[in-house]
Amino acid sequence: MDRGWGFLIGLLGAVWLLSSGHGEQQPPETAAQRCFCQVSGYLDDCTCDVETIDRFNNYRLFPRLQKLLESDYFRYYKVNLKRPCPFWNDISQCGRRDCAVKPCQSDEVPDGIKSASYKYSEEANNLIEECEQAERLGAVDESLSEETQKAVLQWTKHDDSSDNFCEADDIQSPDAEYVDLLLNPERYTGYKGPDAWKIWNVIYEENCFKPQTIKRPLNPLASGQGKLLTNTFYSWLEGLCVEKRAFYRLISGLHASINVHLSARYLLQETWLEKKWGHNITEFQQRFDGILTQGEGPRRLKNLYFLYLIELRALSKVLPFFERPDFQLFTGNKIQDEENKMLSFPLHFDENSFFAGDKKEAHKLKEDFRLHFRNISRIMDCVGCFKCRLWGKLQTQGLGTALKILFSEKLIANMPESGPSYEFHLTRQEIVSLFNAFGRISTSVKELENFRNLLQSIH
């Protein structure tokens, strides 16, 4: 076993060491208590508690995952930020410098990444010249062996017909460009107000299986929404089936995670010489304080932990795909490729409880679930801040990939030990988005510890 694969297995395998535990609550009068008093113990629909996740993520997983995401394979993401919004035309573009995204120049992207969107192995690289003659395959990546090219065509048909939960960019489009994620970090850009809230309102109001008569207390900065409204909404939510409840919690968890990032990397000070980014405690409290959000903030944080476990579960499920002997996180840099093989995790959420009822009803519910999420992925093209759009598209594609994995258990189990898999595959885009999306959630959990400590120091 090479060094890199051992690193990946070690990182993922370490998750199996998660054990139960319970944290101590702080006195109720503290600022930390107001944000975190309800964010403890076991999570609904799961068999893991918040304190265990904190210990595992913050001290075992987070440092190793960050190192992995700094490698070439995971830092370069191809994205089309010029796709038009499919739902409305009145998009107000953010003109602030911090909203801009700087794409990579051609010579900045490693050749191994540029030349192969589907390439995982050195063997495929050696067949480039031979495969360049296969013009009949058109848009299919021509750096692949003939056998794999045929598989890709099968994959395309499969993807167009069924199991993808996310509408991904056409990376062959002239408008698709590589972006170095390390040079375009997710942080507060100043993009806010009606345009930003319109995105989340459409997501919640039209895509979360919510009756039109129930209004969600959405804006954490709005005042006077009242506990009656909040309680009415959550009474309805608690009456949902597990699938629809989980869908809402995933979206809420993603929203909470993004808000944690914005609060943790906030523009605190700007001079003509430099900008100072850091933790904005007031911004965090406005979004998550139990009193300021009429009790909803702590619920959002719990949904973030729920999202963490869902994506963790997906990484556990997909381990056999990465264990295949012909799989390689290919960049063209042999040393880095050897260091890049990756993670495996435990079972804290039983997705088998999803769609387990009457087959006809279950099939319709699963299809509704998938189509709702695909719709959300399309809404990301309506975000007026390009940096927010970049990270929104990446994180929704990552979560969509996680859902694809969770509901492909039989396909993964039936994969051949080597050679192309016709039933289940992951493109490089899906792999990069999957791990970076989980990296964002992992960062959020780590930042919650930082905010908890900062809030405790206030008094």
In sequence order, the β-bridge partners of residue 34 are: none
- Name the residue range of residue 290's domain: 31-88+99-114+163-457
Spatial CA neighbour of 311 closest among 29, 100, 97, 12:
12
Q: Is 185 helix (H, G, I), strand (E, B) or coil?
A: coil
Residues making up the binding site for FAD: 187, 189, 200, 252, 255, 287
Top-confidence residue, 339 or 314: 314
Per-residue confidence band for 156, with pLDDT thresholds at 50, 70 and 90: very low
Query: What pLDDT was estimated at residue 58?
Result: 92
Neighbours of 181 (CB within 10 A): 21
**For the chain, percent helix, then strand, then coil, each to nearest 5?**
55, 5, 40
Residue 46 is a catalytic residue: no
Given the residues 46, 104, 166, 385, select the one marked as catalytic.
385
Given the residues 35, 94, 131, 388, select the one marked as catalytic.
388
Per-residue confidence band for 34, with pLDDT thresholds at 50, 70 and 90: confident
Query: What pLDDT was estimated at residue 219?
Result: 53
Q: Is residue 405 assigned to a domain? A: yes
Q: Is residue 146 assigned to a domain? A: no
In sequence order, the β-bridge partners of residue 33 are: none
Query: What pLDDT was estimated at residue 166?
Result: 75
Q: How many residues does the chain have?
A: 459
- Residue 277 is classified by DSSP as E
The pLDDT tens digits for 241-282 are: 777 778 888 999 999 999 999 999 999 988 878 889 999 999
Longest dimension (CA), the chain: 71
Q: How many percent of the chain have pLDDT more than 70?
A: 66
Residues making up the binding site: 187, 189, 200, 252, 255, 287
What gap in Å lies between CA 79 and CA 50, rounded to an integer? 34
Q: Is residue 1 assigned to a domain? A: no
Which segment of 145-154, 322-331, 345-354, 414-423 scores lowest on mean pLDDT? 345-354
Which segment of 123-132, 155-164, 345-354, 374-383 scores lowest on mean pLDDT? 123-132
Query: What pLDDT was estimated at residue 92?
Result: 77
- pLDDT of 203 > 90? The answer is no
Q: Which DSSP string corresponds to 399-451?
A: HHHHHHHHT-HHHHHT--SSS--SS----HHHHHHHHHHHHHHHHHHHHHHHH
Q: Is residue 156 assigned to a domain? A: no
Spatial CA neighbour of 207 closest among 255, 244, 262:
244
Residue 85 is a catalytic residue: no
Q: Is 348 helix (H, G, I), strand (E, B) or coil?
A: coil
> Which secondary-structure segment (H or E) carries 214?
none
Q: Is residue 2 assigned to a domain? A: no
Q: Is residue 150 assigned to a domain? A: no
Q: Please, what is the end-to-end C-alpha distance for the chain in angstroms?
A: 52
Do the Cβ atoms of 125 and 116 come closer than 8 Å? Answer: yes
Q: How many domains does the chain have?
A: 1
Query: What pLDDT was estimated at residue 381?
Result: 92
- pLDDT of 131 > 70? The answer is no
The pLDDT tens digits for 338-354 are: 666 544 444 344 555 55
- pLDDT of 207 > 80? The answer is no
Query: What pLDDT was estimated at residue 163?
Result: 65
Q: Is 345 helix (H, G, I), strand (E, B) or coil?
A: coil
